[in-house]
Amino acid sequence: MAALGGDGLRLLSVSRPQRPPESAALGGPGPGLCCWVSVFSCLSLACSYVGSLYVWKSELPRDHPAVIKRRFTSVLVVSSLSPLCVLLWRELTGIQPGTSLLTLMGFRLEGIFPAALLPLLLTMILFLGPLMQLSMDCPCDLADGLKVVLAPRSWARCLTDMRWLRNQVIAPLTEELVFRACMLPMLAPCMGLGPAVFTCPLFFGVAHFHHIIEQLRFRQSSVGNIFLSAAFQFSYTAVFGAYTAFLFIRTGHLIGPVLCHSFCNYMGFPAVCAALEHPQRRPLLAGYALGVGLFLLLLQPLTDPRLYGSLPLCVLLERAGDSEAPLCS
């Protein structure tokens, strides 16, 4: 993972005309302190997000509808206020992004349709094997399945299901807003886009360790299994976080990462062991291999920045004189 310091540190030199240099504004030597401000801001956001889940005292498990509703409230409040942290960071460092804050955070109309469709298509290609497995194990045929998916009654039932709303709507939206849209603009100027892609998910992965508290509290498994599960979840979420950070930078939009996050929450981690024991394991494993191969082949073309217009984070780095950022082309 990226380390803070050495040649990896790059600080924007563009500041407001009426401001003193960044080192003076920060009251320190400059680049090093600016990066620590960025890291501290990201850490504060991560702690605020996780802490908001525990402001409500309850003896009920996390999947109880009453607990989910309360957490919706606190998480939405923290997520709504998270752009203020980026504003404060901008004021402390004196960095001029060259674009509006909302645009920098991926809220823009230019290129929104390919930004919504292509990353989701790319993610579905990666999950070709699990999708085949799901269709093989589904008792209904494709036509019946589509009728169920498109039926208004099915959507109405989903919208009243607190767990569905949490996993498919609230969690993807708020997590991508806080851990990608807010953190990447603060990390990229001091360490570059590449290191930021791998540093940002560390906050995201660590934020999921709070599940240990509830698993230990309700004795859901042995202590060893709980910590082993947490380590696996950290690894998985860190890899996924790096992927959605990559999508955010390459498309300049938040909608793609949110939709991909929602889709992955629905699919869960691929059931590779079940695929190895499946009655039709040969075509299924071929689907797994084909999905991974096509994903790697199409990763660059489907995230080509030229499909999405001007990229805000790349504009920010260009103003710093870093016009050769590899993720921008």
**In the chain, where the domains are located:** 31-320
17 pLDDT band, cuts 50/70/90, is very low
Quick check: 169 pLDDT over 80?
Answer: yes
Query: Residue 170 and residue 190: Cα distance in Å, rounded?
Result: 30
Quick check: 181 pLDDT over 50?
Answer: yes
Catalytic residues: 175, 208
| Of 190 and 214, more confident | 190
Residue 253: count of CB within 10 angstroms of its CB? 27
Query: Quick one: pLDDT at residue 152?
Result: 82
Query: Quick one: pLDDT at residue 54?
Result: 82
Query: Quick one: pLDDT at residue 102?
Result: 93
Q: What is the mean pLDDT of the chain?
A: 83
φ, ψ for residue 15, nearest 5 deg? -135, 170
Across 112-123, average pLDDT: 97
What burial class does residue 317 get, using C-beta atoms within 10 Å of its C-beta: 0-12 exposed, 13-18 middle, 19+ buried? buried
Query: Quick one: pLDDT at residue 120?
Result: 97
Query: Quick one: pLDDT at residue 27?
Result: 37
Poorest-pLDDT segment among 30-34, 66-70, 288-292, 298-302: 30-34
H helix intervals, 151-254: 152-159, 162-165, 171-176, 183-191, 193-207, 211-217, 223-251
Query: Quick one: pLDDT at residue 175?
Result: 94
| Of 221 and 240, more confident | 240
Query: Residue 300 and residue 1: Cα distance in Å, rounded?
Result: 22
Query: Quick one: pLDDT at residue 322?
Result: 62
Query: Quick one: pLDDT at residue 225?
Result: 75
H helix intervals, the chain: 22-26, 31-51, 65-93, 101-104, 112-126, 128-137, 142-150, 152-159, 162-165, 171-176, 183-191, 193-207, 211-217, 223-251, 255-267, 272-276, 281-302, 312-319
15: helix, coil or strand?
strand
Across 314-325, average pLDDT: 71
Quick check: 25 pLDDT over 50?
Answer: no
- Of 257, 239, 253, nearest in space to 305 by CA: 253
The pLDDT tens digits of the residues spanning 138-160 come to: 877 666 666 767 778 888 888 88
Residue 116: count of CB within 10 angstroms of its CB? 16
170 pLDDT band, cuts 50/70/90, is very high
Residue 142: count of CB within 10 angstroms of its CB? 9
Q: How many CA atoms lie within 13 A of 129 on its CB side?
A: 27
| Of 204 and 88, more confident | 88
Query: Quick one: pLDDT at residue 244?
Result: 96
φ, ψ for residue 95, nearest 5 deg? -75, 135
The answer to whether residues 275 and 284 touch, using CB atoms and an 8 Å cutoff, is yes
324 pLDDT band, cuts 50/70/90, is low
Q: What size, in residues, is the chain?
A: 329
Structure tokens of 113? 């349709």
